[in-house]
Amino acid sequence: MTETPPATAGSATEAAADERQLALSTRAARNLATTTKSVPQMQGITPRWLLQRLPWVRADAGTYRVNRRLTYQLGDGLVTFVNDGAAIRVIPPELAELPPLRGFGDTALLDGLAGRFVQHEYAPGDTIAEAGRPTDAVHLIAHGKVEVIGPGEYDAHARVDILDGGRFFGDRALLGADDDAWPHTYRALTPTTVLQLSREAIDELTGRYDSLRAHLEEYRSAPVPPQTRHGEAAIDLASGHDGEPALPGTFVDYEASPREYEMSVTQTLLRVHTRVADIYNGPMNQLEQQLRLTIEEVRERQEHELINNRDFGLLHNADLRQRIQTHGGPPTPADMDELLARRRKTRFFLAHPKTIAAFGRECTRVGLYPADVEVDGHRARAWRGVPIYPCDKIPISPSGTSSVLALRTGEDDQGVIGLQRTGIPNEVRPGLSVRFTGIDDKAIMSYLVSAYYSAAVLVPDALGVLENVEIAR
């Protein structure tokens, strides 16, 4: 066993000398140094692809009117419901969305009609109505998904459509025709709640109330105006004829009350103390940095409004016939193909980053690896050559579902356009102004930051939405 010799006084002195500071520390040196700084950073800045790729049209009058060819309203809206716990009721005025009841204004009778609907629950795979059987009830889908199945060409069933909450079918049962039969089979894809109005209840109400019977009789006997497959007023033409037949006379009718889009505004009042602007203004301009970050936040809010605003936002302005449902939940290549096929010249898709990731998983699952495309020097995910841009402003529901938007853009292609008012006083960016509003008695300067914008869908098929996309599976 080896013993350690005791420490001597000389060795202790040498150790203390080694611990002494031999040069100026970096902490002290910083008092005489100039610190290199970054400009203020902001985590909330996103690519804002929608603002970049949307063609912007100047709206000088502050209002943009979309003139369209006359389109006949066929009552293809959504029906709204309310619930008391598990009991669901239809809002009576919403029954006017059914084509036979469009324009019927007897609210008391609509209340009685709404009270006759009976709630039914269906499990996935259950048949709600079968093709060929008599149309014996009006069905309102309160919750869930219903697939519409028709006969295929080769003795196989073909999926015609997918209906979700708010849609309806069997409205012709209100007309009381005995020879009407279901043209398709309706089957629940998910747990589904349906409100049904039976033929017996319809016959009882029409027999009791003359006003309802007269309204339905007028609807039944009214001539159907000639129209195109898009619902527009038809233009009479002659083609393939020979000789000198009498040619049809025609004209193009317009909507009597076209929609007008008014400019929306995002504003804030930026305050900067004069002492800060005067003394603490180097090496960076404090006012300039405050304005830069404020403008970035204004632009983020602008994109959010263009997506979610209930008046002009794209999610709320998509035509009902351009809203489609996923086949099974997650966004599959088949779903994206159907969305793409609904319009010509689709310029780009817009989806939440988590939705894009879910679509990538579905492609990988079936062995597909879509090629990327180059956009302004950047690589972007694409499907069928159409870029898919990420946009975190598209909401995700608490249940983990989102939406995918498909846009055709530009005035020349009758697409989606952005609206802005340029040339305004104190404009620093197109459609955005910074106006000095004064200094108060506390020596605080104020600047009004304003952005004016909106969006318009020129024709309905310019914008499509793939709804209820599951991203959490």
Q: What is the pLDDT of residue 160?
A: 86
Which 8-state DSSP code applies to residue 88? E
Tokens representing 465? Answer: 């939405």
What pairing do the DSSP bridges indicate for beta strands 416-420 and 56-58? Answer: parallel
How far apart CA 165 and CA 214 sit, in angstroms, is 30
Cβ–Cβ < 8 Å for 406, 369: no
Give the pLDDT band (50/70/90) at residue 51: very high
Q: Is the pLDDT of residue 251 over 80?
A: no
Q: What is the pLDDT of residues 66-117, one digit of tens each?
A: 988 877 655 557 888 887 777 888 998 888 888 888 888 788 888 888 999 9
DSSP 157-219: EEEEEEE-TT-EE-GGGGGT-TT-B-SSEEEESSSEEEEEEEHHHHHHHHHH-HHHHHHHHHH
Give the pLDDT band (50/70/90) at residue 5: low
Give the pLDDT band (50/70/90) at residue 4: low
Q: Is the pLDDT of residue 351 over 70?
A: yes
Q: Is the pLDDT of residue 233 over 80?
A: no
Average pLDDT along the chain: 87
User: Residue 196 CA to chain centroid, in angstroms?
Assistant: 30
How far apart CA 364 and CA 358 sit, in angstroms, is 10
Q: What is the pLDDT of residue 10?
A: 59
Q: Can you tell me the mean pLDDT for 136-160?
A: 86
Total-model pTM: 0.79
Q: How far is CA 215 from CA 99, 146, 185, 199, in A?
A: 11, 30, 29, 17
Share of the chain above pLDDT 70, in %: 94
Tokens representing 167? Answer: 């849609």
Q: pLDDT higher for 339 or 190?
A: 339
Give the pLDDT band (50/70/90) at residue 9: low
User: Residue 105 CA to chain centroid, in angstroms?
Assistant: 31
Furthest CA-CA distance within the chain: 130
Q: What is the pLDDT of residues 412-454, one digit of tens each?
A: 999 999 999 999 999 999 999 999 999 999 999 999 999 999 9
Do you know the residue count of the chain? Answer: 473
How far apart CA 8 and CA 159 sit, in angstroms, is 95
Q: What is the pLDDT of residues 10-34, one digit of tens each?
A: 565 565 556 788 887 878 888 888 8
Q: What is the pLDDT of residue 144?
A: 87
Q: pLDDT higher for 35 or 347?
A: 347
Category of 309 on φ-ψ map: left (φ > 0), alpha (ψ -120 to 50) or beta:
beta
How far apart CA 185 and CA 45 sit, in angstroms, is 49
Category of 421 on φ-ψ map: left (φ > 0), alpha (ψ -120 to 50) or beta:
beta
Q: What is the pLDDT of residue 176?
A: 77
For tokens 């600047």, what's the residue? Answer: 447
Quote the strand ranges of 222-302, DSSP E.
259-262, 264-273
Q: What is the pLDDT of residue 300?
A: 96
Q: What is the pLDDT of residue 452?
A: 95
User: Residue 230 CA to chain centroid, in angstroms?
Assistant: 22
Span of 286-290, 292-296, 318-322 with lowest mean pLDDT: 318-322
Cβ–Cβ < 8 Å for 451, 431: yes
How far apart CA 221 and CA 81 sit, in angstroms, is 31
Q: What is the pLDDT of residue 6?
A: 58
Q: Is the pLDDT of residue 230 over 60?
A: yes
Q: Which of 23, 206, 230 is nearest to 106 (CA)?
A: 206
SS3 435: strand
Residue 93, preceding bond cis, omega within 30 degrees?
no
Positive or negative: CA dihedral 336, 471, 194, 215: negative
**Which residue type, as a one-letter code, is found at position 202?**
I
Q: What is the pLDDT of residues 207-226, one digit of tens each?
A: 888 888 888 888 888 777 77
Q: How far is CA 187 from CA 109, 118, 128, 157, in A?
A: 31, 18, 6, 12
Cβ–Cβ < 8 Å for 178, 133: no
Q: What is the pLDDT of residues 363-415, one digit of tens each?
A: 999 999 988 999 888 889 999 999 999 999 999 999 899 999 999 999 999 99
Q: Which of 158, 169, 177 is nearest to 196 (CA)?
A: 169
Share of the chain above pLDDT 90, in %: 48
Tokens representing 304? Answer: 């959010």
Q: What is the pLDDT of residues 260-281, one digit of tens each?
A: 999 999 999 999 999 998 898 8
